[in-house]
């Protein structure tokens, strides 16, 4: 019995030590976000029956990031009355360019006029950019947005849609363990239904209650947070499901806005899944702009102490996007 108790105590101390080590590492090396006036970044979000998670309309926050106690950056974040990241200098008479994606589209860490959609609008004379980016989102958030009744009346005429993909979206699309840290558990849950159809079953909590219960018990553990990265790494079937969700969004966009100008932008650095996804989507007639191999290793393309894009990165991507869309060959993937 004494040996058994000793083993239990040893395991307990080992776990406590590992947990403390992970917490210290996270505190020292990972950016934390705070907000003045409206509290922390998470207070910008709200639960939504159609979208799972949405941005609260009419919010204005000064978002500040720290690593340990060292300030990294601050940014003005405004959410418009439709629950979108505000893009200044709109001309309402122009057609819309819809931008979907995660924090890379939202522009976490940059001001309202420095996001990718805002920079893209600055390169155009005929389009106004609407930013539907949502931090932590995957491709299913785009699909849920496009399936929302009344979207066309909300946006007005749209002649272009751009979805920005990063490798993390594959895990988010299928509800990998990492999505349960924070609000990711409430992302829309799409899976293969009868007849090989793509169906939605609420969010990851309501659609997978047993899995969610297990992960919810562990989500406060920083040791589990780091272990979860390797607990179930995304694989080929997950990439296939990601592609199917994107294709469903493409088809829904065409149905709602009556044009085929739907593009997938593979962001620089998305080399693990990006090229394979680009090849998979191109085979089914999806227009892809694969920037995954662009050299964005220079620190100027990333926020200090963080892995989100900088203002320089957004300006470069917006310039390339505008130039590529102007070339007729970009439109030839349609079949």
pLDDT in tens, 10-23: 555 665 666 567 55
| Start-to-end C-alpha separation, the chain | 72
Q: For the residues of 249-278, what is the DSSP string, one character each?
A: HHHHHHHHHSS--EEEEE-TT-TTTHHHHH
21, 136: one domain:
no
Q: pLDDT tens across 300-315, in order?
A: 999 988 889 999 999 9
For residues 208 and 75, give the distance between their C-alpha atoms in angstroms, rounded to a whole number.
36
Do 216 and 329 share a structural domain?
yes
Q: Which residue did the predictor score with more confidence, 133 or 11?
A: 133
Among 41, 101, 100, smallest CA distance to 65 is for 41
For 228, residues 6+ apart whose C-beta sits below 8 A from its C-beta are 176, 177, 178, 180, 181
**pLDDT at position 35 over 50:** no
Q: Is 55 helix (H, G, I), strand (E, B) or coil?
A: strand
Q: Pick the range with the lowest mean pLDDT from 5-9, 55-59, 151-155.
A: 5-9
C-alpha pair distances (Å), 265 with each of 52, 99, 197, 302, 321: 24, 10, 25, 18, 9
Rounded Cα–Cα distance for residues 20 and 123 (Å): 48
pLDDT tens per residue, range 213-255: 777 666 666 656 655 555 556 778 899 999 999 999 999 999 9
In the block, which residue shows the tokens 């776990």?
Answer: 15
Tell me the pLDDT band of 69, cut-offs 50, 70 and 90.
confident
Pair (26, 126) in one structural domain: no
Between 240 and 39, whose confidence is greater?
A: 240
**pLDDT: which is higher, 327 or 101:** 101
**One domain for residues 26 and 168:** no
- Is residue 205 situated within a structural domain? yes
Pick the closest to residue 102 from 29, 179, 195, 214 (CA basis). Answer: 179
pLDDT higher at 29 or 151: 151
Domain containing residue 263: 80-333
Task: State the CATH number of the domain containing residue 141.
Answer: 3.40.50.1110
Q: What is the mean pLDDT of residues 175-193?
A: 85
Query: Which two three-digit tokens encode residue 252?
Result: 């829904």
151-155, 176-180, 220-224, 325-329: least confidently modelled range: 220-224
* pLDDT score, position 38: 33
Residue 62 has a pLDDT of 85
Same domain, 157 and 254: yes
Average pLDDT over residues 100-126: 92
Residue 228 three-state SS = helix
- Token code pair at residue 184: 């990711």
Total domain count for the chain?
Answer: 2
Answer with the residue of higher pLDDT: 162 or 194.
Answer: 162
**Structural domain contains residue 48:** no
Task: Kindly state whether residue 40 falls inside one of the protein's structural domains.
Answer: no
Within a domain: residue 125? yes
> Average pLDDT, stretch 132-156?
95
Q: For the chain, what percent of residues have pLDDT higher than 90?
A: 57
Assess whether pLDDT exceeds 50 at residue 298. Answer: yes
Q: Does the pLDDT value for residue 74 go beyond 90?
A: no
Domain check: are 91 and 169 in the same one?
A: yes
Asked if residue 118 has pLDDT above 70, the reply is yes
Q: Do residue 1 and residue 109 come from a single domain?
A: no
Least confidently predicted of 1-15, 85-99, 210-224? 1-15
Q: What percent of the chain has pLDDT over 70?
A: 78
φ, ψ of residue 99 in degrees (nearest 5): -115, 125
Does 53 reside within a domain? no
Is residue 47 included in any domain, yes or no? no
With a cut of 70, say whether residue 5 has pLDDT above it: no
Taking CA atoms, 226 is separated from 135, 140, 210, in Å, by 20, 24, 22
pLDDT of 37 reads 35
Question: Are residues 234 and 98 located together in one domain of the fold?
Answer: yes
At 232 the pLDDT is 59
Q: Could you give the CA distance from residue 256 to residue 147 in angstroms, rounded to a whole number?
A: 9
Helix (H) or strand (E) holding 189: strand 188-192
pLDDT(288) > 80 = yes
Q: Are 245 and 173 in contact (CB under 8 A)?
A: yes
The predicted pLDDT at position 36 comes to: 39
- Beta bridge partner(s), residue 198: 192
Whether 181 maps to a domain, the answer reads: yes
Domain identity same for 114 and 24: no
Residues 14 and 110 in one domain: no
Residue 72 lies in a domain: no
Which pLDDT score, from 0 to 100, does residue 331 have?
42
Per-chain mean pLDDT for the chain: 84
Question: Do 84 and 23 belong together in one domain?
Answer: no
| 308 and 174 inside one domain | yes
């Amino acid at each position: 019995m004494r040996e058994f108790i000793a083993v239990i105590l040893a395991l307990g101390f080992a776990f406590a030590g590992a947990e403390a080590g992970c917490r210290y590492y996270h505190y020292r090396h990972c950016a934390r976000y705070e907000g003045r006036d409206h509290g922390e970044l998470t207070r910008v979000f709200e639960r939504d029956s159609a979208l799972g998670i949405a941005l609260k309309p009419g919010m204005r926050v000064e978002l500040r990031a720290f690593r340990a106690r060292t300030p990294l950056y601050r940014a003005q974040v405004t959410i418009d009355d439709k629950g979108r990241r505000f893009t200044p200098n709109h001309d309402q008479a122009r057609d819309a360019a819809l931008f979907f994606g995660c924090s890379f589209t939202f522009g976490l860490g940059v001001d309202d006029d420095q996001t990718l959609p805002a920079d893209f609008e600055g390169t155009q004379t005929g389009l106004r950019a609407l930013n539907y980016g949502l931090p932590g989102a995957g491709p299913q958030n785009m699909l849920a947005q496009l399936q929302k009744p009344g979207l066309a009346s909300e946006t007005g005429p749209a002649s272009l849609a751009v979805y920005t993909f990063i490798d993390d979206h594959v895990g988010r699309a299928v509800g990998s363990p990492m999505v349960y840290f924070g609000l990711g558990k409430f992302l829309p849950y799409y899976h293969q239904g009868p007849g090989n159809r793509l169906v939605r079953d609420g969010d990851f909590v309501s659609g997978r209650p047993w899995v969610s219960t297990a992960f919810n018990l562990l989500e406060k553990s920083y040791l589990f947070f780091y272990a979860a990265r390797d607990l179930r790494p995304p694989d080929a079937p997950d990439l296939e499901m990601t592609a199917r969700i994107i294709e469903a969004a493409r088809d829904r966009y065409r149905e709602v806005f009556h044009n085929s100008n739907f593009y997938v932008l593979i962001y620089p650095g998305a080399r693990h899944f990006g090229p394979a996804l680009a090849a998979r989507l191109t085979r089914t007639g999806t227009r892809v702009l694969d920037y995954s191999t662009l050299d964005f290793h220079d620190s100027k393309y990333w926020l200090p102490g963080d892995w989100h894009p900088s203002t320089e990165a957004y300006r470069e991507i917006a310039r390339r996007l505008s130039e590529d869309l102007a070339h007729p060959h970009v439109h030839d993937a349609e079949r």
